Amino acid sequence: MLNEKDTLLLWRYADGDCTEAEAGSIRDRLQREPGPRQARDEIQVLQANLQAVEADQPSLRFTRNVLDQLPPATQRLEKIRLLPSAVIWRWATGIGLAIVASVMMLPTGTVNAPSAVGGLLEPMEGKVLESVSLWESLPQTWILTGSLALILILGLDQILKARLRNRHA
Amino acid sequence: MVITDEHLIQRTLAGSQAAFGQLIARYQDFVFSLCMRVLGSREEAEETAQDAFLKVYHNLSTFKQESRFSTWLYTLTYRTALDRARLRKRPVQALETDEYVLQVEDKSTAAPDANLHQADLQDQLEHAINQLKPDAASVVSLYYLQEQSVKEIAEVTGLTETNVKTKLFRSREALRDLLRQSLQQEARQMI
């Protein structure tokens, strides 16, 4: 019969948790003595059975039950924005059109109309030139400012959403 | 492609319920088993396991990835289960190495052709594990089922590594004695 110290060493040997010297000593004893061999065999069988123990399983609805208990606000945060999408898109569309119009009116503001339809467009030329002069009178910085404002609004939207999410987490 | 725990955690923190559902599915059996070792009752273990996952969700942003996610999860689970056990002061039967309280069938009165098959042995082993004290059963379960190292088990249970090794040793010796008795019983029946 092995004492507790020897048995503990055998377990450490089975776990691969002993020094080379200890392992060598164990191997010698296993060759010479039947007591340690029997204990080693029992430990091996027990280890195999312990490693084969299966986890208990909860009910089939377990995952659903947990998810159903999550805070409702968090479920909505995936989709909501703090600013309505329509507002953001109107800003973006307006600024985009303003930029395109500015580019088209450069540098002199004259509209080149095909000669075949020149007669039809001539009455409009005055109105176009008026519009162009209106565009040219607008400070270019307004458009730049509008773009920056849009970027700031989008950024603020993301920051506030993240803070709201963290508060609910 | 294996989706890592870290990836699911990042997606959960970004607001994805589906990612958290995947984390639950990945670990629910192990969490539930750990709760069973401490509480011994399926109903209580399931409620406690759900509470543990909710705590994980609410505290996920505090997980610093200094240890494995599983270790952090089992730590929360173990503490939640212990709190529950303290509330109801569960009486436990102890399986000590020098005093046996074994809830096993008396094979000497069994039918002559009754054999102890591997499945019976496995059942008896699982039953014996459940008869250990909650902390000892948890240590055995964490070591073999949840595959935690001694150091991780110490972190989960709040014990020192020396304590963990001692509990592991004594529990395994108790189980080995049970196994020896069962095998001897089987040998007698075969003669």
Question: Taking CB atoms and an 8 Å limit, are A62 and B145 in contact across chains?
Answer: no
Predicted pLDDT at A105:
66
Structure token digits, residue A27: 């191997």
Name every chain A residue with its beta carbon within 8 A of the beta carbon of B179. Answer: 42, 45-46, 49
**Residue B83's pLDDT band (boundaries 50, 70, 90)?**
very high
Dist CA B13 CA B58 (whole Å) = 10
* Statement: residue B179 has pLDDT above 90: no
User: Could you give the ipTM of this predicted complex?
Assistant: 0.78
Predicted pLDDT at B69:
95
Question: Taking CB atoms and an 8 Å limit, are B176 and A46 in contact across chains?
Answer: yes
- Average pLDDT over all residues of chain B: 83
pLDDT digits 0-9 by tens, B107-165: 334 443 344 466 677 888 888 888 888 999 999 999 999 999 999 999 999 999 999 99
Name every chain B residue with its beta carbon within 8 A of the beta carbon of A53. Answer: 122, 125-126, 129, 141, 144-145
Q: Which residues contact B139 (CB under 8 A, 6 or more apart)?
A: B153, B157, B159, B164, B167, B168, B171
Dist CA B129 CA A90 (whole Å) = 66
- DSSP class of residue B99? B
Candidate from A46, A49, A66 with C-beta closest to B54: A66
Residue predicted with more confidence, B98 or A97: A97
Q: With beta carbons less than 8 A apart as the criterion, state whether B31 and A62 touch.
A: no
What's the CA angle centered on B53, arms B49 and B56, to 5 degrees? 140
Dist CA B181 CA B100 (whole Å) = 11
pLDDT in tens, chain A (169 residues): 678 889 999 999 999 888 999 999 999 999 999 888 989 998 998 999 999 999 999 999 999 999 999 987 555 454 455 555 666 677 777 777 777 776 666 554 444 544 445 555 555 566 666 656 655 666 677 767 777 787 887 787 777 777 766 655 4
Predicted pLDDT at A132:
60
Predicted pLDDT at B99:
38
CATH number of B104-190: 1.10.10.10
pLDDT digits 0-9 by tens, A8-27: 999 999 998 889 999 999 99
Dist CA B171 CA B178 (whole Å) = 11
Chain A residue whose CA is closest to B180: A42
Dist CA B70 CA B146 (whole Å) = 8
Q: With beta carbons less than 8 A apart as the criterion, state whether B175 and A50 touch.
A: yes
Name every chain A residue with its beta carbon within 8 A of the beta carbon of B20. Answer: 67, 70
* The most confident of A145-159, B45-59, B77-91, by mean pLDDT: B45-59
Name every chain B residue with its beta carbon within 8 A of the beta carbon of A78. Answer: 15-17
* Statement: residue B40 has pLDDT above 70: yes
* Statement: residue B178 has pLDDT above 90: no
Helices (H), A15-33: 20-32
Q: Which residues contact A111 (CB under 8 A, 6 or more apart)?
A: A121, A125, A128, A132
The region of weakest confidence among B13-22, B55-64, B173-182 is: B173-182
Chain A residue whose CA is closest to B118: A49
Tokens 């490693």 identify what position?
A51
In the chain, the amino acid numbered A5 is K
For chain B, what are the domain ranges? Answer: 5-87, 104-190
Name every chain B residue with its beta carbon within 8 A of the beta carbon of A45. Answer: 179
Question: Taking CB atoms and an 8 Å limit, are B13 and A57 in contact across chains?
Answer: no
Q: With beta carbons less than 8 A apart as the criterion, state whether A49 and A15 touch.
A: no
User: Taking the C-alpha atoms of B122, B123, B125 and B127 in order, what is their torsion angle to the nearest 10 degrees?
Assistant: 160
Entry pTM: 0.66
* Chain pair A-B, CB pairs under 8 angstroms: 94
Q: B5-87, what's its fold?
A: Rna Polymerase Sigma Factor; Chain: A (1.10.1740)
Predicted pLDDT at A137:
61
Handedness of CA B90, A57, B151, B149 (dihedral sign): positive
Q: From A75, A121, A46, select the one nearest B140 (Cα to Cα).
A: A46
**Residue B103's pLDDT band (boundaries 50, 70, 90)?**
very low
Q: Scan residues 29-68 of B and list those with Cβ closer than 8 Å to A.
A: 29-30, 32-33, 36, 42, 45-46, 49-50, 53-54, 57-58, 60-61
Q: From B136, B49, B156, select the one nearest B93 (Cα to Cα).
A: B136
Residue predicted with more confidence, B28 or B1: B28
